[in-house]
Amino acid sequence: MSRISLKVNTSDYDFSKLPSTWEVKTVGDLVSEQILERPLDGNHGESHPKHGDFVSSGIPFIMATDIDRGEIDLQNCKYIPLKLAKTLRKGFALEEDVLLTHKATIGRTAIIGKTVFPFFMLTPQVTYYRVKNRRRLSNRFLMQYFNSPIFQEILSNYANSGSTRDYLGIMAQLDLPIILPDLSEQYAIAATAGNFEEKINLLNRQINTLESLSGTLFRQWFIEEAGDDWKEIMLSDIADHIKNNMNPSRQPDQLFRHYSLPAFDGGKEPISEVGKQILSSKYTVESNSILISKLNPRTPRVWALYGSREDGVGICSTEFQVLKPKIIAHFGFIYYFLKSFQVTNELANASSGTSGSHQRVNPDDILSLNLLFPPEMKIREFDEVTRAYLRKIGENRRQIRTLTKLRDTLVPKLMTGEVRVEM
């Protein structure tokens, strides 16, 4: 772990081109001191809830992985009873507090909006920031500033040791710089940046809804209502395993669409890179392919590349296996089969490796997966439904890509005053 608690040197950054009325302050100047490891009930308290302490409802127990794209995932986060929460030595975040992850997964941020919960519990991976004076600093501007490329680069410089378990201590966080426009401009900048986030999050929620609907329909039609007369086949009977190797570095100026594991985890958006930036061998991928990761199958990564090809040559990490339906009408059936709990569980049991974080499944185990094959008419009916969903998902991802590029171009200019918002 990379522990950093030394004072951040704000002179490392050039703020000389900011508008003359703007200031540069530190986090500690503008937010309240953190109330850490102080149980609400006044007792000594425990550090962590135990596995059996979690309940279906209660007080949200927020980890770094529960924060994404400016939002807190209250559907999938863990909960603990109120009585237990009051005894823990944790941060107690309240409505309107800004959250920032500072350990292992660094730089995720969100704001606690209107809520029915009296407080939120935070793991040591997450810090809350409570603005001292709302007439000087908007908490919504603070959240958007934390999320901006400017602040993210500063965080990276002080917390990136090349390790996956970086850490930025509380004292170092309080020394981090904040660019401080006039309050009215803070509101305008936060609103502009927030509009991008709102549109992107709406598109992502639509994607999640469509994926969930398709997955539910697959389970109902092909698992719960499977016919006794359906034939048992192997996946290899209906899908080809494509293993076309290439070395992108031999085409140094060629643009590639790189489908990597980090790209999948970061939002299922391939990275555009030229060949000289890609040092290892890859598989080529085409439209209407399905990628499934052989690494750590307990965390399934199944990527649908449905529809027309986009700019650049498609390639993927060799951790992915490239499958292509023998019949295009079987695409949705195969994709949601691979995403099913049944397949995840089977591949997890078949995996092997030296540690829990480096388990791999043999590609042959993927191709030899058994499934009950329904009547062709049933598959084509499913295809008609999921084809529309997959096209909508692809359209949403293209819109997200456009909005993200525009946001990442505009917001840094707003944050430094290079572009001003009319008020």
pLDDT, tens digit, for every residue of 26-75?
Answer: 888 998 765 444 545 545 445 677 777 899 889 999 999 899 878 899 98
Nearest to 78 by CA among 102, 104, 49: 49
Q: Answer yes or no: is pLDDT of 1 > 50.
A: no
Q: Strand 23-26 relative to strand 177-180: parallel, antiparallel, unpaired?
A: antiparallel
> What mean pLDDT do residues 160-182 have?
74
pLDDT, tens digit, for every residue of 401-418?
Answer: 899 999 989 999 999 999
pLDDT exceeding 90 applies to what percent of the chain? 59
Quick one: pLDDT at residue 115?
92
SS3 state of residue 169: coil
Long-range contacts of 24-27 (CB under 8 A, 24+ apart): 24/177, 24/178, 24/179, 24/180, 25/177, 25/178, 25/180, 26/174, 26/175, 26/176, 26/177, 26/178, 27/129, 27/173, 27/174, 27/175, 27/176, 27/177, 27/178
Q: Strand 59-62 relative to strand 78-80: parallel, antiparallel, unpaired?
A: antiparallel
| Domains of the chain: residue spans and CATH | 2-180 (3.90.220.20), 181-230+374-423 (1.10.287), 231-372 (3.90.220.20)
pLDDT, tens digit, for every residue of 314-344?
Answer: 999 999 999 999 999 999 999 999 999 999 9
**Higher confidence at residue 70 or residue 311?**
70
pLDDT, tens digit, for every residue of 209-222?
Answer: 999 999 999 999 99
pLDDT, tens digit, for every residue of 265-286?
Answer: 878 889 899 999 998 999 999 8
Please give the order of strands across the beta sheet that includes 255-259: 245-246, 282-284, 313-316, 255-259, 271-274
pLDDT exceeding 70 applies to what percent of the chain? 88
Quick one: tokens of 416?
Answer: 């430094």
Contact 373, 232 (CB under 8 A): yes
Write the DSSP string, 192-218: HHHHHHHHHHHHHHHHHHHHHHHHHHH
Give 102's pLDDT tier (boundaries 50, 70, 90).
Answer: confident
Nearest to 147 by CA among 248, 239, 255, 67: 67
User: Could you give the C-alpha distances from 317 to 118, 168, 266, 311, 349, in angstroms and in order?
Assistant: 45, 31, 15, 18, 23
> What mean pLDDT do residues 175-184 have?
92
Q: Is-above-0.85 flag for pTM? A: no
Quick one: pLDDT at residue 160?
52
Task: Give the mean pLDDT of the chain.
Answer: 87
